[in-house]
Amino acid sequence: MTYQEEEQVRLRRQGSKQAIALAMQGRWREAVAVNKSLIESFPSDVDAYNRLGRAYIELGEYSQAREAYQRAVEIAPYNTIAKKNLRRLAHLAETPVSSEGDSHKVEPQHFIEETGKAGVVDLHHLALPEILARMVAGDKVYLKIDGSSLIVENGRGEYLGQVVPKHGQRLIRLMEGGNKYAAAILSSTEDKVSVIIREVYQDPSQVGWPSFPPKGVEGLRPYISDRIIRRELEYEEALPTEPGYTIIGGEEGESLPEESPDTGEEAETEE
């Protein structure tokens, strides 16, 4: 590789890191400028077009987002990120927002904690596609008890889906006992939504009752680190999931089977 080629690689890598850092900070207008600059220098940079599309989505400028993703598909026809987002954009109407977007983001390292404190769950009974289309990785969401169900809402108070009862019922008991939780979107498509939940406060009455107990492990899922969540936030790549939920922390994540997550309690039946 010649010196000029090495310099081009260095500049591209530097620009990409800057664009990703701006996205992580929610500085979407600046992210647009950096990705456009990269594209001027590297017209076939598919990743830059995908990042540009993501920034435009966050700003509510959906026609520009479509153009960016369409260009990515022209360069790389099988690019799954661009194609997924074009499907998402089909459900979105043009709704300009503030210069830094209108969604509340959660720093990924906020969820990397000791084993049993944080976990990934898939939602069921999902909301309409036009609502889910507005949700992207990193968006802060909220847990709400609705009777015997634990539902997830976005910052606008819109229903997104339910935590499966076998896990939701345990979290409900802990919440009613005084525990508090933070949650964010890990990945979202029109037919699948994964949410990462973290215990942020444990009531003294709940000591000894982990929010995500490592019981009945049938297999291991690759360790979920902040790097994976950062990649999800930036590139929106759906993580493979197994039945149950994934515990975050330690040296590896654990996927639990579809059975009662309780430790030493009578198994619950799904309604």
User: Which residue, 89, 121, 142, sits at the end of a domain?
Assistant: 89
**Between 238 and 127, residue with greater pLDDT:** 127
Q: Which of 92, 46, 84 is nearest to 68 (CA)?
A: 46
Q: Is residue 263, in this structure, part of any structural domain at all?
A: no
For residues 117 and 205, membership in a common domain is answered with yes
Q: Is pLDDT at 265 greater than 70 in this prediction?
A: no
Q: How far apart are CA 68 and CA 51, in angstroms?
A: 9
Per-residue confidence (pLDDT) for residue 34, from 0 to 100: 94
**Between 230 and 10, residue with greater pLDDT:** 10
For residues 225 and 183, membership in a common domain is answered with yes
pLDDT digits (tens, 9 = 90+) for 22-70: 887 778 899 999 999 999 999 999 999 999 998 888 888 889 999 999 9
pLDDT digits (tens, 9 = 90+) for 106-157: 655 555 545 678 888 889 999 988 788 878 777 889 999 999 999 999 988 9
CB-based contact 159:153 (threshold 8 Å): yes
Q: How far apart are CA 249 and CA 245, in angstroms?
A: 13
Phi-psi category of 191—alpha, beta or left, where left has phi over 0 and alpha has psi -120 to 50? alpha
For residues 43 and 163, membership in a common domain is answered with no
Q: How far apart are CA 250 and CA 240, in angstroms?
A: 20
Domain count, the chain: 2
Q: Is residue 269, in this structure, part of any structural domain at all?
A: no
Per-residue confidence (pLDDT) for residue 74, from 0 to 100: 95
pLDDT digits (tens, 9 = 90+) for 65-122: 999 999 999 999 999 888 888 888 887 765 544 444 445 666 555 555 456 788 888 8
pLDDT digits (tens, 9 = 90+) for 244-258: 444 444 333 333 333
Q: Is pLDDT at 240 greater than 70 in this prediction?
A: no
Q: How far apart are CA 153 and CA 117, in angstroms?
A: 21
Q: Which of 91, 200, 168 is nearest to 136 (CA)?
A: 91
The packing angle between helices 62-75 and 80-89, to 10°, is: 150
Please give the single-letter amino acid code of residue 6: E
CB-based contact 12:42 (threshold 8 Å): yes
pLDDT digits (tens, 9 = 90+) for 177-233: 999 999 988 887 778 888 888 888 999 998 888 888 775 333 223 334 444 445 554
Q: Is residue 265, in this structure, part of any structural domain at all?
A: no
User: Domain range spanning residue 140?
Assistant: 108-255
For residues 227 and 114, membership in a common domain is answered with yes
Per-residue confidence (pLDDT) for residue 109, from 0 to 100: 54
For residues 68 and 120, membership in a common domain is answered with no
Give the bridge partners for 145, in sequence order: 150
Task: Give the domain CATH number at 120.
Answer: 3.30.70.2330
Spatial neighbors of 199 by CB under 8 A, at least 6 apart, are 113, 117, 118, 174, 179, 180, 181, 211
For residues 72 and 152, membership in a common domain is answered with no
Per-residue confidence (pLDDT) for residue 72, from 0 to 100: 94
Per-residue confidence (pLDDT) for residue 180, from 0 to 100: 94
Per-residue confidence (pLDDT) for residue 187, from 0 to 100: 80
For residues 65 and 132, membership in a common domain is answered with no
For residues 83 and 132, membership in a common domain is answered with no
Per-residue confidence (pLDDT) for residue 147, from 0 to 100: 92
For residues 83 and 189, membership in a common domain is answered with no
Q: Is residue 94, in this structure, part of any structural domain at all?
A: no
Q: Is residue 101, in this structure, part of any structural domain at all?
A: no
Lookup: tokens for 227: 């790097």
Q: Is residue 202, in this structure, part of any structural domain at all?
A: yes
Q: Residue 5 CB: number of other CB atoms within 10 A?
A: 9
Per-residue confidence (pLDDT) for residue 106, from 0 to 100: 60
User: Which residue, 55, 89, 123, sits at the end of a domain?
Assistant: 89
Q: Which of 139, 140, 160 is nearest to 149 (CA)?
A: 160
For residues 85 and 12, membership in a common domain is answered with yes
For residues 73 and 9, membership in a common domain is answered with yes
Q: How far apart are CA 7 and CA 254, in angstroms?
A: 42
CB-based contact 187:236 (threshold 8 Å): yes
Q: For residue 57, what are the CA distances in angstroms to 34, 101, 117, 121, 173?
A: 16, 9, 32, 25, 37
Task: Give the domain CATH number at 27.
Answer: 1.25.40.10
Per-residue confidence (pLDDT) for residue 204, from 0 to 100: 92
Q: How far apart are CA 48 and CA 225, in angstroms?
A: 24
For residues 137 and 61, membership in a common domain is answered with no
- HSE, CB side, 13 Å, CA atoms: give it for residue 118: 25
